[in-house]
């Protein structure tokens, strides 16, 4: 039996969760129907990329949620080096998983599939590896490398 594609599982589960939240919270799309991730994808397909389009709205919403979760991770960390306190690693791990929820929602709202996310990740990873091997610095940073990842 083949092992499940874990990234695909995450993307599927997150899409289902987002659709469930839209339904439970009665969040409507511009057509007056309950919003779905498919409706956001449809807006992407129609190039509705302006400030009032569904993609921009939900990318912004998911980014704000991601930022809030990152703050929760930061607040779980200790900074008083003289303290005898210990971090709550279990809570930190759960907060990191929350980050993944919203990162996945961002990916879905931008139209990325699990396969495309993986492809872009590995392409960017190669760029990052090359940057480290060639002495990455502000002076050598080349944003054209990022734009070349398609």
pLDDT in tens, 81-140: 999 999 999 999 999 999 999 999 999 999 999 999 999 999 999 999 988 998 888 888
Report whether 101 contacts 14 (CB < 8 A): yes
Which residue range is the domain that position 150 belongs to?
114-150
Contact assessment for residue 37 and residue 26, using Cβ atoms and an 8 Å cutoff? no
Q: Indicate if 106 and 125 belong to the same structural domain.
A: no
Name residues whose C-beta falls within 8 Å of residue 107's C-beta, 6 or more positions apart in sequence.
11, 117
Same domain, 78 and 147: no
CB within 8 Å of 23: residues ≥ 6 apart: 34
Same domain, 129 and 92: no
User: Do 55 and 91 belong to one domain?
Assistant: yes
139 part of a folded domain: yes
Number of independent structural domains in the chain:
2
CA 8 to chain CA centroid, Å, is: 14
Using CA atoms, how far apart are residues 12 and 79, in angstroms rounded to an integer? 37
Looking at the fold, whether 31 and 95 belong to one and the same domain comes out as yes
- Shared-domain flag, residues 25 and 87: yes
Domain membership flag for residue 43:
yes
The whole-number pLDDT of residue 69 equals 97
Burial bucket for residue 62 (CB in 10 Å: 0-12, 13-18, 19+): buried
Does one domain contain both 67 and 139?
Answer: no
Residue 1 lies in a domain: no
Determine, yes or no, domain membership for 37: yes
Task: Specify the DSSP element, H or E, that contains 35.
Answer: none
In this structure, the answer to whether residues 81 and 15 fall within a common structural domain is yes
The pLDDT score that the predictor gives to residue 97 is 98
Q: Examine residue 128 and state whether it is found in any structural domain, yes or no.
A: yes
2 within some domain: no
Q: Is residue 82 part of a domain?
A: yes
pTM over 0.85: yes
């Amino acid at each position: 039996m083949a092992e499940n594609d874990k990234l695909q599982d995450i993307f599927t589960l997150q899409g289902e969760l987002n659709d469930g939240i839209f339904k439970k919270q009665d969040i409507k799309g511009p057509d007056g129907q309950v919003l779905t991730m498919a409706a956001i994808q449809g807006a992407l397909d129609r190039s509705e990329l302006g400030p009032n389009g569904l993609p921009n709205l939900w990318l912004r919403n998911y980014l704000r949620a991601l930022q809030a979760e990152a703050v929760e991770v930061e607040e779980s960390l200790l900074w008083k080096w003289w303290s005898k306190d210990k971090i709550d690693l279990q809570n930190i791990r759960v907060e990191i998983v929350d980050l993944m929820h919203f990162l996945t929602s961002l990916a879905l709202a931008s139209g990325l599939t699990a396969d495309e996310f993986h492809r872009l990740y590995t392409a960017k990873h190669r760029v990052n590896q090359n940057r480290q091997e060639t002495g990455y610095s502000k002076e050598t940073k080349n944003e054209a490398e990022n734009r070349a990842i398609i």
